[in-house]
Amino acid sequence: MDNPTIAQAIDKYLESVKLARSLNTSRTYANAMHVLSAVLKENDVNPQASPASKLSEDAVVWMAIALKDYSPASEQLYLAATTGFFKFLAAERLAEINLPRLDLLRMQRARRSGQRLPQFPREDIERVLGFVNTITNNTFDSPEIRLRAMRDCAFLLTLADTGLRVHEACNLRRGDIDWNEGRAVIIGKGDKQAVVRFSTRSLTALKSYLSSRAAQDGRSGHPLASLPLFARHDKGAGKKVKPITTTTGRNIVSERVRQALGDEAEGRITPHSFRHYFVTTVLRASGNLKLAQELARHASIQVTQRYAHLSNDELDKGYHDIFEK
């Protein structure tokens, strides 16, 4: 195989991993390569058609950006698998890889794993949710802009009230939702099937959005159940009903945060911040770690415990309520 495609090179790499690593490690590396393939596609590189020789270390930067919504530990593992793939390309002389730059990029981009408490501005998230809930009442210059506003409102409320990861939300199809029961069955992290519940306000926003999209969906020629729940509404999509990508999902968050809170807030709230918001909302209301773990689909309750903390403001209020009466 003199000049394999990226996909073929990935297959060869994973074969070598199976020979040298444990079954669990092999599965993790395979998952990482699945994510890498998706990241390459989002950056206009087709793994099935593009030769491996055209790959550069820049793909590690793309991968690191995509992994910001993962835990630091998962990010470290997936970046290790990705840099391992590039070192494999260099060793097999399938691509010219700058190995010192590769290691530098990984070191610069990767977060340190460890027990860090999730910090996020809860009140700011609620302000963003309030903002997107009201923009659908605005006057819009075109039907496409109105549809985007309705989609973005439904998307952010879905993230906040379901605990879905951004790629899980982007992958939803209309037929995934049981509207009577207010839930959906998804394939989540680790290829595990899971049930996700929807709040009344997220379902209401989704129904309003899909109702406004009805004519476009009807002209698609495809069964409604097979169509994406969140669709693109831009010139590039044309008349087709195409799903949004995780990049679009992150852009939706950035744009609406900037509009609601100002330019200085951009980057402070990410799609994963809405998952933090979901878990802490469950904990604040119930005080039940096991319930929060199950609803958030955390494999370990230790992960959920990281959210069971109070902010300094809440601690100050609690202290003064007790001692300053």
- The list of the chain residues with pLDDT below 70 reads 1-2, 69, 108-120, 308-325
How far out from the chain centre does Cα 296 lie?
Answer: 14
Instruction: Output the CA–CA distances (angstroms, integers) from residue 163 to 36, 198, 283, in the order listed.
Output: 24, 9, 13
Predicted pLDDT of residue 117: 45
Instruction: Output the CA–CA distances (angstroms, integers) from residue 124 to 3, 128, 151, 172, in the order listed.
Output: 51, 6, 20, 26
Query: Domains in the chain, start-ordered, CATH in brackets?
Result: 6-109 (1.10.150.130), 122-312 (1.10.443.10)
Beta pairing partners, 51: 5
Q: How far apart are CA 230 and CA 249, in angstroms?
A: 9
How far out from the chain centre does Cα 202 lie?
Answer: 18
Packed helices 122-135 and 246-261: angle between N→C axes, nearest 10 degrees: 90
Q: How far apart are CA 299 and CA 162, in angstroms?
A: 17
**241-279: b (≥16 Cβ within 10 Å) or e:** bbbbbbbbbbebbbebbbebbeeebeeebbbbbbbbbbb
Q: How far apart are CA 284 and CA 281, in angstroms?
A: 5
Predicted pLDDT of residue 164: 94
Q: How far apart are CA 47 and CA 7, in angstroms?
A: 5
Predicted pLDDT of residue 324: 55
Predicted pLDDT of residue 1: 55
Predicted pLDDT of residue 110: 61
Q: How far apart are CA 180 and CA 166, in angstroms?
A: 24
Predicted pLDDT of residue 291: 87
Predicted pLDDT of residue 323: 56
Q: Which of 66, 68, 282, 264 is nearest to 162 (CA)?
A: 282
**Hey, what are 160's tokens?**
């906040």
143-155 pLDDT, tens per residue?
Answer: 889 999 999 999 9
For the chain, strand residue ranges (E) read: 177-178, 183-187, 193-197
